[in-house]
Amino acid sequence: METILEFLNIIENKGFKAYVVGGYVRDYLLSIKSFDIDVTTNATPKQIKEIFLDVDLKKSEVDKSSYGSLIVNYKNILFEVTTFREESDYLDNRHPSSIKYVDDLETDLKRRDFTINAICMDKFGKIIDPLNGRQDLKNKVIKTIGDSNKSFRDDALRILRAIRFSTVLNFKLDENVIKSIEKNKKYLKNISYERKKVELDKIFVSKNNKYGIELIKELKLDKYLELNDLNRVQDYTDLIGIWSMINPASYKFTKVERELIKKVNVVYNLDNLNNQVLYKYGLYVNVLAGINKGISKKKITESYNKLPIKSKSDIKIDVDTICSILNKKPDSFLNSIYKDLEHEILNNNLKNDRNKIIKYIKLKYLK
């Protein structure tokens, strides 16, 4: 907090107004730790650059120069600094066609999404709340700023953000918000899958994700989000587990995410208590598949812990010994022998004992 107020002071000492706004203030009032630090000011990006000439100015991941934003790294804290502005008509249900800098805080706040995200803090730590966001925090309700229909029509991603904040904070949706979501949910199709996935990920990783998923289903957003198999989700403990049950074709995933989702879908159709399946796919993937079929994590874990081996390195014979027994140099034949040993040990046909393995190799491979 000390560094944040110091940052505001630096800007104000140059003759400008500056306030922390949005997520950090909201979370501060809710006693939630936050690293989401947004600053709103009447200083332009050019003036902010001049003020912080001696600090590390980092570009944001998305080019926000046309929206009057700048990322400032001050004392290893990233501040997103945005100039007071008002926005013109939205043309694509997401972005304003243009912006105009203004010199009035309240005008800037009125362009934002929800009242709980329009609470400010000044350089003295004083809370400034012209749109009554604190009351909505107290009442645990999500309300838009101004007309809900216009808000969601202007930026349809706000529909998902409403669900996300309701989920993460365990707040209810205001009745007007609910009605407006139902009226404008069709516009979700105009939002990029990347942006939708960011919000959905936050909903799915929340400890309260079951509530969020139920909201999506109750408001019938799954159709417009192309989450056609949402009813398959039976367990809510893991992000990959949830996505693997939904398995939407249009969303983009990282290579690691794709591989895990593919494995979970394969293992879903297998016996998650079988030694061979547990060994091949591992505990994590089997747990994700199994719990969505009603098999408890405890039962799968117990079966996994009873495996005689969990990897090839657990087999109690080394390459040199095998080569010595067969009087051969190391080659590709070792792969088939190890696969055979894995199979026999996992099926409890062969004990994982060095002497017994040596005897097995001699009987089968020495001819």
pLDDT attached to residue 86: 83
Q: Do domains 1-139 and 146-227 have the same CATH topology?
A: no
Q: Annotate the chain with three-state secondary structure.
A: CHHHHHHHHHHHCCCCCEEEECHHHHHHHCCCCCCCCEEEECCCHHHHHHHCCCCEEECCCCCCHHHCEEEEEECCEEEEEEECEEECCECCCCCECCEEECCCHHHHHCCCCEHHHCCEECCCCCEECCCCHHHHHHHCEECECCCHHHHHHHCCHHHHHHHHHHHHHCCEECHHHHHHHHHHHHHHHHCCHHHHHHHHHHHHHCCCHHHHHHHHHHCCCHHHHCCCCHHHCCCCCCHHHHHHHHCCCCCCCCHHHHHHHHHHHHHHCCCCCCHHHHHHHHHHHHHHHHHCCCCCHHHHHHHHHCCCCCCHHHCCCCHHHHHHHHCCCCCCHHHHHHHHHHHHHHCCCCCCCHHHHHHHHHHHHCC
Over residues 5-30, the pLDDT tens digits come to 999 999 999 999 999 999 999 999 99
Over residues 177-229, the pLDDT tens digits come to 999 999 999 999 999 999 999 999 999 999 999 999 999 999 999 999 999 88
CATH number of 312-365: 1.10.246
pLDDT attached to residue 237: 79
pLDDT attached to residue 319: 94
pTM value is 0.84
Q: Where are the domains of the chain?
A: 1-139, 146-227, 233-307, 312-365
**In the CATH hierarchy, which fold is given to the domain comprising 146-227?**
cca-adding enzyme, domain 2 (1.10.3090)
Q: Per-residue confidence at 87, pLDDT binned at 50, 70, 90?
A: confident
Q: What is the mean pLDDT of the chain?
A: 91
CATH number of 1-139: 3.30.460.10
pLDDT attached to residue 59: 45
Identify the residue with better confidence: 123 or 62. 123
